[in-house]
Amino acid sequence: MYIEKIILKNYRNIKDAVLCPHKKTSVLFGDNAQGKTNILESVYYCAMGRSHRTNNDRELVAFGEEYAHIKLFIKDDYGRTDRIDINIRSNGKKGIALNGIAIKRIGEMIGTFNAIIFSPENLQLIKAGPSERRKFIDMELCQTDKIYYYNLKQYYKVLKQRNNLLKKINKTDDMLDIFDIQLSEYGSRLIADRASFISKISDTAAEIHAGITENKETLRLEYKPNTEQENFYKKLVGSREKDIYYGSTSVGVQKDDITFFVNNVNARDYGSQGQQRTACLSVKMAEIDIIRQEKNRVPVLLLDDVLSELDKKRQAYLINNISDVQTIITSTGTDENIKNICNKGKVFFIKNGEIL
């Protein structure tokens, strides 16, 4: 799958821009704060129906403007084309159209276009808090599995209702019964999907990791669910008193985590910085393979400032292994390898929100 054209209007600092990326590699060059990440963010928005940087859509509309518009033209390997139109208003409301037909739910668009974004923060995945690791699972699973996306949305909706109720009551309430049944139903499905996804990505990342480290290191990911499927409901009911006291739900998938093992020890506690970063790179590359396997198509890869964060050997590994992936790379021009990459694709200069 590849992007033929991106059209942006009033998207953050980009007033009006048209970008036709190379089928393989495009480099967005520019100084800091010119709009490079903004372009990648707009592309990623079309995959996820949301920004990877903010939960607040209002931020995406250029200061002083009424709306922002993203138009993405994509083509798959069989020649099928799709057009995604996203219109975001300054009050945060948005409208989405797929091939010119308005859709009501983001879920209807998700899966049409697959993209993976890789930025320096992803190299901190092991050290970051558990919420970053949950976000990583969710972003990948939502793109490959519409039912997962639906269950996740429903789960968080019920969780919010339960938390609101907990803040208002001082003893067990009938409504809690309903919320606990719903939460444990949606939550159990999410746990099953997360378990199978993490086992898959663990196997794939292990192979990649062995390749990058020339078989010197092993990598394994282990899912740490906050509760097992079968005990979900029981634990929710058992935690009611405590939850009412704190005004928030203490049991559930909103507390899940993943542990990374490098050479069979917990990389968060014992791994060197280099080992942790390599493990993150392996996992990120495994994401591409999972989409390839699950969707039978190659996602678009968005590399935001990440090359300069990798040493030469790891840069080379990454570049050699994405030869069939359409990639858009941002750079301030300091990375050494970038010149070779530019020779193979298209180069765009970004200045003050304009594509030169």
Ligand X SMILES: Nc1ncnc2c1ncn2[C@@H]1O[C@H](COP(=O)(O)OP(=O)(O)OP(=O)(O)O)[C@@H](O)[C@H]1O
Q: Pick one of 25, 26, 34, 37: the residue that binds Mg ion (CB under 5 A).
A: 37
Tell me how far CA of residue 179 lies from CA of 97, 130, 158, 191, 220, in angstroms: 33, 24, 6, 18, 35
Q: Pick one of 6, 8, 26, 34: the residue that binds ligand X (CB under 6 A).
A: 34
**First-to-last CA distance in the chain?**
26
Name the residue whose CB lies closest to Mg ion. 37
Q: Which does 38 bind (CB under 5 to 8 A by kind): Mg ion, ligand X, none?
A: ligand X
**Separation of alpha carbons 151 and 153, rounded Å:** 5
Rounded to a whole number of angstroms, the minimum distance from the CB of residue 332 to ligand X is 5
Nearest to 114 by CA among 325, 283, 341, 263: 325
Binding mask 1-30 for ligand X (x = CB under 6 A): -----------xx----------------x
33 binds ligand X (CB under 6 A): yes
**Separation of alpha carbons 25 and 300, rounded Å:** 10
Nearest to 342 by CA among 24, 4, 33: 24
Nearest residue (CB) to Mg ion, 37 versus 282: 37
- Quickly list H helices, the chain: 36-48, 130-144, 146-168, 174-212, 232-238, 240-246, 267-270, 273-295, 312-320, 338-344
**Separation of alpha carbons 330 and 224, rounded Å:** 34
Candidates 35-43, 54-62, 136-144, 280-288: pick the segment binding Mg ion (CB under 5 A).
35-43
Contacts of 347 (CB under 8 A, 6+ apart): 26, 27, 29
Count of residues interacting with ligand X (CB under 6 A) = 17
Nearest residue (CB) to ligand X, 16 versus 230: 16
63 binds ligand X (CB under 6 A): yes
Nearest to 355 by CA among 12, 3, 5, 14: 14
Q: Which does 189 bind (CB under 5 to 8 A by kind): ligand X, Mg ion, none?
A: none
User: HSE-up of 128 (CA within 13 Å, CB side)?
Assistant: 17
56 binds ligand X (CB under 6 A): no
119 binds ligand X (CB under 6 A): no
Instruction: Sort residue 149 into left (φ over 0), alpha (ψ -120 to 50) or beta.
Output: alpha
Nearest residue (CB) to ligand X, 229 versus 332: 332
59 binds ligand X (CB under 6 A): yes
Q: Which does 62 bind (CB under 5 to 8 A by kind): Mg ion, ligand X, none?
A: ligand X
Candidates 58-66, 81-89, 167-175, 193-201: pick the segment binding ligand X (CB under 6 A).
58-66
Nearest residue (CB) to ligand X, 262 versus 355: 355
Give the number of other Cβ atoms within 10 Å of residue 58's Cβ.
13
Paired tokens of 160: 């919010």
Q: Pick one of 332, 337, 342, 346: the residue that binds ligand X (CB under 6 A).
A: 332
- Where on the chain is the footprint of Mg ion (CB under 5 A)? 37
Q: Which residues bind ligand X (CB under 6 A)?
A: 12-13, 30, 32-38, 59, 61-63, 305, 330, 332
